């Protein structure tokens, strides 16, 4: 692990913020690091306001999209709501279809089969629309590169509205409207919406045009917050506002599907982290192991008994998913060793019977052992399909772009992507990808980094400090949970290894010359017990957490790493 201390912000800005807000210099430093430099900006940060959402009509083609839906409703057309099979896609379809069903019964939901159709807009989906007298498809979380498919649909008399957030290719599809803030010709102020976020802006615009109040849209924000968390988009700007209020909906008035998922979760208040690790994997499991429509059905169900039945099915899919990804990860690690590829700068592995639904998870798991850009391939029809995952600071999308001569199609983001290629190109691609990584990656990026917000002393950690820190939530990219470093620490003598195989480190620490004593827990840090034994002085990087024991709540330090 390498520790990187973030640059200190302008001292004058920190002093002014500290004075204006009545907070410590450490809190003011954290705010300044997040681009917050004035009282008004701090107010917007701590109290995200729905009134500060941008006008949806600032998005390129929004007027055309709204007009086309108005025409469809006025003439009684059948509309298909089409979305990807992941969390962002299924929440998008649930949001759009349930909203439109309040206006017309002529709505069909469609999620492509991960195995038979693959990612994105499919010819089979278009044929289904044409065969069922559907003349408008609203595609969510996909479609920005579907140039040929949109043209094919047009010949069949089917129009498209595309709501996407992925990077466009060289050509924009000739759809009725293409909503994507990442279009170069789109001047929408916030570029980092997820697919469900773009879908929400469309229903916001439509509702505004009809003269509706914003309040009618509030129940849909739980879906948007879930997609924001699961799709790992920055939780800044509009995403922070949408996630903050969406979490409030989940905690105060969750939809029946979420209630059913959370039946056995004993937690008073869910955070975005809970959404990412409890709700999202279960929604994802449907598309991974069976079909994404199972997730849409759960998210749109209003009857409690039916929702509980759907949730139980999805729980089974998730259990199956866990077993499958664990087994494949083991096989992939074995393959790396067999081929003696431990020292490569990239991981590219393939086995034809690996389950396509979990290769993205396996790619993430492999980076925990070999921290480097990673692709996991499996057979998909007569092609090979892969999921790519990167390491912090390395753009895997650009690396794939450099290998495009060997790829049939690809799409994604800086840190995650998907692709397909011909089986005959696998070895050529593997060789080319390794050489691209070798030529372009800064070798330091191959060592996991802990980004440290600030160095503090233990006596700065007061109940007020922690109370303000909690108000920085929701946390995520662009506003990660603050990480601190403290030096001159010693264990008070209670340090020990705990858990199976003594995997974790537990101790009580104090700082030389300071009074406070804090409990400290380090998951996976059991092997570093020697660093704190016999009252050796050490330094630590950690985040702050609440520990509840026998009804008592205390602040504890959640270790990320320790060093002499």
Q: In DSSP terms, which residues pair with 80 in a beta bridge?
A: 108, 137
415 lies in the same domain as 476: no
- Please check whether residues 440 and 351 belong to one and the same domain: yes
Residue at 49 is within a domain: no
Residue 546 belongs to what domain range?
450-563
To which H or E segment does residue 504 belong?
strand 504-511
Residue 111 has φ and ψ, to the nearest 5°, of: -120, 125
Let me know if residue 227 belongs to a domain. Answer: yes
Number of structural domains (the chain) is 3
pLDDT tens digits along 388-432: 999 999 999 999 999 999 999 998 888 889 999 999 999 999 999
Strands 484-491 and 454-455: parallel
Query: Both 424 and 518 in a single domain?
Result: no
198 in helix, strand or coil? Answer: helix
Residues 165, 291, single domain; the answer is yes
Question: What CATH number has the domain bearing residue 221?
Answer: 3.90.1640.30
Cα–Cα distance for residue pair 376/361, rounded to 1 Å = 9
CATH of the domain at 370: 3.10.310.30
Whether residue 36 lies inside any domain: the answer is: no
Which of 396, 425, 446 is where one domain is finished?
446
> What is the tens place of the pLDDT at every residue in 200-258?
999 999 999 999 999 999 999 999 999 999 988 999 999 999 999 999 999 999 999 99
Residue with tokens 């920085």: 472
Q: Does residue 7 sit within a domain?
A: no
| Together in a domain, 380 and 305 | no
Nearest by Cα to 102 from 256, 214, 198, 216: 216
Residues 406 and 553 in one domain: no
Distance CA 100, CA 293 (A): 17
pLDDT confidence of residue 118: 80
Evaluate whether residue 138 is within a structural domain. Answer: yes
Do both 67 and 178 map to the same domain? Answer: yes
Q: Quick one: 476 and 512 in the same domain?
A: yes
Tokens of 373: 């850009």
> Could you say which of 399, 415, 446 is where a domain stops?
446
Of 446, 470, 488, at which residue does a domain stop?
A: 446
Distance CA 243, CA 226 (A): 8
Whether residue 228 sits in one domain with residue 185: yes
- Going by the DSSP 8-state scheme, the letter that residue 392 receives in this structure is T
Residue 51 lies in a domain: no
**How far is 474 from 481, CA to CA, in rounded Å?**
9
Q: Tell me what pLDDT residue 267 has.
A: 79
Query: Is the distance from CB of 558 to CB of 542 less than 8 angstroms?
Result: yes
For residues 462 and 515, state if they share a domain. yes
- 552 and 498 in a common domain: yes
Residue 30 lies in a domain: no
Going 90 to 249 to 311 to 315, the CA torsion angle's sign is positive
Q: Is residue 6 in a domain?
A: no
Q: What is the chain's pLDDT, residue by residue, as a tens digit (564 residues)?
A: 899 999 999 999 999 999 999 999 999 999 999 999 999 999 999 999 999 999 999 999 999 999 999 999 999 999 999 999 999 999 999 999 999 999 999 999 999 988 888 889 999 999 999 999 999 999 999 999 999 999 999 999 999 999 999 989 899 999 999 999 999 999 999 999 999 999 999 999 999 999 999 999 999 999 999 999 998 899 999 999 999 999 999 999 999 999 999 987 877 789 999 999 999 999 989 988 889 899 999 999 999 999 999 999 999 999 999 999 999 999 999 999 999 999 999 999 999 999 998 999 999 999 999 999 999 999 998 999 999 999 999 999 999 999 999 999 998 888 889 999 999 999 999 999 999 999 999 999 999 999 999 999 999 999 999 999 999 999 999 999 999 999 999 999 889 999 999 999 999 999 999 999 999 999 999 999 999 998 999 999 999 998 877 778 899 999 999 999
Q: 542: domain CATH number?
A: 2.40.50.460
Please indicate, yes or no, whether residues 219 and 235 belong to a single structural domain of this protein.
Answer: yes
Residue whose C-alpha is closest to residue 99's, from 300, 248, 273, 247: 300
Check residue 355 and report its DSSP letter: -
């Amino acid at each position: 692990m390498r520790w990187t201390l973030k640059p200190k912000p302008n001292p004058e800005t920190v002093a002014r913020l500290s004075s204006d807000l009545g907070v410590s210099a450490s809190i003011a430093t954290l705010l300044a690091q997040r681009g917050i430099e004035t009282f008004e900006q701090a107010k917007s940060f701590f109290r995200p306001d729905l009134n500060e959402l941008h006008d949806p009509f600032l998005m390129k083609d929004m007027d055309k999209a709204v007009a086309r839906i108005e025409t469809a409703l006025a003439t009684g057309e059948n509309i298909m709501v089409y979305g990807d099979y992941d969390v962002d896609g299924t929440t998008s379809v649930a949001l759009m279809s349930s909203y439109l069903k309040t206006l017309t019964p002529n709505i069909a939901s469609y999620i492509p089969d991960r195995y038979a159709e693959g990612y994105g807009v499919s010819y089979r989906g278009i044929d289904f629309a044409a065969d069922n007298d559907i003349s408008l498809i609203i595609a969510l979380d996909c479609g920005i590169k579907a140039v040929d498919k949109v043209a094919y649909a047009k010949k069949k008399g089917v129009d498209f509205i595309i709501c996407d957030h992925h990077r466009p290719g060289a050509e924009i599809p000739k759809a009725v409207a293409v909503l994507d803030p990442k279009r170069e010709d789109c001047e929408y102020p916030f570029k980092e919406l997820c697919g469900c976020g773009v879908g929400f802006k469309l229903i916001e615009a439509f509702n505004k045009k009809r003269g509706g109040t914003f309040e009618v849209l509030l129940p849909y924000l739980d879906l948007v917050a879930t997609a924001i968390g699961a799709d790992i988009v920055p939780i800044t700007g509009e995403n922070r506002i949408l996630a903050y209020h969406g979490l409030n909906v989940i905690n105060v008035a969750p939809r029946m599907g979420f209630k059913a998922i959370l039946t056995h979760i004993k937690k008073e208040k869910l955070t975005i982290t809970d959404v990412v690790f409890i709700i999202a994997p279960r929604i994802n499991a449907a598309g991974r192991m069976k079909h994404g429509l199972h997730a849409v059905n759960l998210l749109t169900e209003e009857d409690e008994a039916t929702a509980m039945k759907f949730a139980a099915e999805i729980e089974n899919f998730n259990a199956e998913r866990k077993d499958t990804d664990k087994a494949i990860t083991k096989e992939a690690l074995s393959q790396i060793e067999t081929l003696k590829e431990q020292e490569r700068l990239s991981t590219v592995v393939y086995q034809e019977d690996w389950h396509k639904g979990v290769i993205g998870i396996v790619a993430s798991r492999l980076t925990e052992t070999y921290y480097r850009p990673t692709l996991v391939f499996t057979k998909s029809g007569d092609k090979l399909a892969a999921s790519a995952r990167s390491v912090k600071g390395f753009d895997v999308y650009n690396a794939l772009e450099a290998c495009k001569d060997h790829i049939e199609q690809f799409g994604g983001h800086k840190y995650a992507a998907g692709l397909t290629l011909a089986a005959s190109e696998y070895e050529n691609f593997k060789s080319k990808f390794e050489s691209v990584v070798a030529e372009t990656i800064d070798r330091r990026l191959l060592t996991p980094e802990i980004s440290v917000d600030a160095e503090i002393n233990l006596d700065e950690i007061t109940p007020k400090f922690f109370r303000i820190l909690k108000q920085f939530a929701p946390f995520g990219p662009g506003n990660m949970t603050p990480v601190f470093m403290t030096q001159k620490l010693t264990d008070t003598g209670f340090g020990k290894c705990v858990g199976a195989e003594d995997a974790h480190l537990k101790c009580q620490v104090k700082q030389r010359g300071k009074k406070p004593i804090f409990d400290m827990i380090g998951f996976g840090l059991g092997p570093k017990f020697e660093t704190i034994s016999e009252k050796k002085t050490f330094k630590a990087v950690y985040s702050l957490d609440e520990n509840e024991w026998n009804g008592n709540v205390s602040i504890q330090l959640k270790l990320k790493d320790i060093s002499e």
